[in-house]
Structure 1
Amino acid sequence: MTATSATDLAALLCSRLCHDMLSPVGAMSNGLELLASETDPEMRQNCMELLEQSATISTNKLKYFRLAYGAAGGFGDRVGIEEPKDLIQSLAADKGRIEVNWALASGTLAKPAVKVLLNFAQIALDALVRGGTLDVGAEVRDGACEIVIRAAGTKIAFDEVLGRALDGKLASDELTSRTAPAHMIHLLAQECGGGLQYARGDDALVLGAVLPEPEGMIG
């Protein structure tokens, strides 16, 4: 990437973060306004529940962005599998009507693998517009991390522009805050010497990646 395109990508990822945080933070602001003017005990309790729910969603989203986009823990560190697992579970719970199944054979994953796993999960969850099942698998073997995520439901929403982003074939005017995360993990996989794949059917979307493990960090 050129310096300009790297700056553009960072700006678009920030825009995506702000867009996704706007709803829960706005709900907290509304809840505080209601709480300040409401005197009925039952309504005040409802406001407190709204604030608690919105705060939980905001915290989970910030934790997700920290790992999925940022440098949480420092570059090169491994991450315990429970952390991204908990984040994916919370994202699915926020969506509702989604059952998550796990096949995680490794106790830790390298940072690039965690970023790919989390971004794949977000793409897959966004595709399940009417709910369904999310199958998440990750395994380290033969010096590489293999990741597979399958979203299955009655309606799959997956714009082909996201597929082009995963393939690294975006046109310059197609790089937006919506496609930036997929473009980012394409670049990440490319830098690692790995690759991404996807396949979409009428009722399922499958996302896959093979990422070589960093030397001296196989675990």
Structure 2
Amino acid sequence: MTDYTEIDLASLMCSRLCHDLLSPVGALSNGLELLSGEEDPDMRARCIELLEQSARISTSKLKFFRLAFGSAGGFDSRIPTEEPQTLIAALVADNGRVELNWSVVSDTLTKPAVKCLLNLAHIAIDALVRGGTLDIGIEESDGITEIAIRASGARIAFDENIGRALQGELDAAEISPRTAPAAMLHGLASQHGGEIQYQVQDDALILGAMVREG
């Protein structure tokens, strides 16, 4: 059930972006306020360290969302694989409790494949609330890109509505900022002759996507 409009989805995606960026940007504002009234050298050094950390996280998220949700302007029809790899590695580093294993042979990927990869990786990282391992593998053959992601950890947190959104089963009243990226992902895969699959286990979330080129 996908009777929501593109405007509805865009609005919800904007809400999700604001939610995800509020914490690091808010930390920047708080850090600057503390720094302005702090005279102790050690405390000022600590404030500057926190500001640098918040700035790095904000920049990483903006770069990630630009490619995951945006039009990927500035790139050709195929994007160097190192671009999404760097962005995912940055999110994993910011998490601090997730180990990334990367198994991708292709030097470039199509824009739709990159968007699917980034969004699925984001869902997988969110599921590892207590940390764990993120395994990513990609294969290309005969114009078809297959993406496989496994998030393994002691506790998997996966909203069943995200799963329903990945399958295109949510209607307009059920879509929220949390599920909007998954709904967009379903539409993207369908538009390019592909599909999204997922499986939830006690200690793992397995996500897969198939996208055709063109």
Give the TM interval when normalised to the shorter protein: over 0.9
Farther-moved stretch of structure 1 (55-64 vs 205-214): 205-214
Within 5 Å, which residues of 2 pair with 1:104-123?
Answer: 104-123=104-123
Within 5 Å, which residues of 2 pair with 1:148-187?
Answer: 148-187=148-187
SS in structure 1 of the partner of residue 197 of structure 2:
strand
The separation in 1 between residues aligned to 2:33 and 2:45, in whole angstroms, is 14
SS in structure 2 of the partner of residue 56 of structure 1:
helix
Q: Does 1:67 align with 2:90?
A: no
Q: What TM-score does the superposition give when structure 2 sets the normalisation length? A: 0.96
Q: Deviations over 1:22-64 (max 9, x none)?
A: 0000000011111111111111101110110000000000001
- Partner AA of 1:6 in structure 2: E
Name the residue aligned to 1:205: 205
Query: How far is the alpha carbon of 1:141 from its aligned partner?
Result: 1.2
SS in structure 2 of the partner of residue 12 of structure 1:
helix
- Please provide the CA RMSD for this pair: 1.4
Q: Does 1:190 align with 2:190?
A: yes
Farther-moved stretch of structure 1 (133-142 vs 114-123): 133-142
Provide the aligned length of Structure 1 versus Structure 2: 213
Q: Deviations over 1:119-160 (max 9, x none)?
A: 000100010011110001112112101100000011001111
The separation in 1 between residues aligned to 2:76 and 2:175, in whole angstroms, is 27
In the alignment, structure 2 segments of 5+ residues that lack a partner are none
- Partner AA of 1:35 in structure 2: L
Q: What TM-score does the superposition give when structure 1 sets the normalisation length? A: 0.94
The separation in 1 between residues aligned to 2:174 and 2:53, in whole angstroms, is 34
Within 5 Å, which residues of 2 pair with 1:1-219?
Answer: 5-73=5-73, 77-214=77-214
Q: Which runs of 4+ in 1 moved over 6 A?
A: none
Query: How far is the alpha carbon of 1:75 from its aligned partner?
Result: 7.9
The separation in 2 between residues aligned to 1:142 and 1:31, in whole angstroms, is 52
Calculate percent identity across the aligned residue pairs: 62
The separation in 2 between residues aligned to 1:99 and 1:20, in whole angstroms, is 21
The separation in 2 between residues aligned to 1:116 and 1:174, in whole angstroms, is 22
In the alignment, structure 1 segments of 5+ residues that lack a partner are 215-219
The separation in 1 between residues aligned to 2:173 and 2:205, in whole angstroms, is 25
- Partner AA of 1:163 in structure 2: G
Relative contact order, CA 8 A, sep 6+: which one is greater?
2
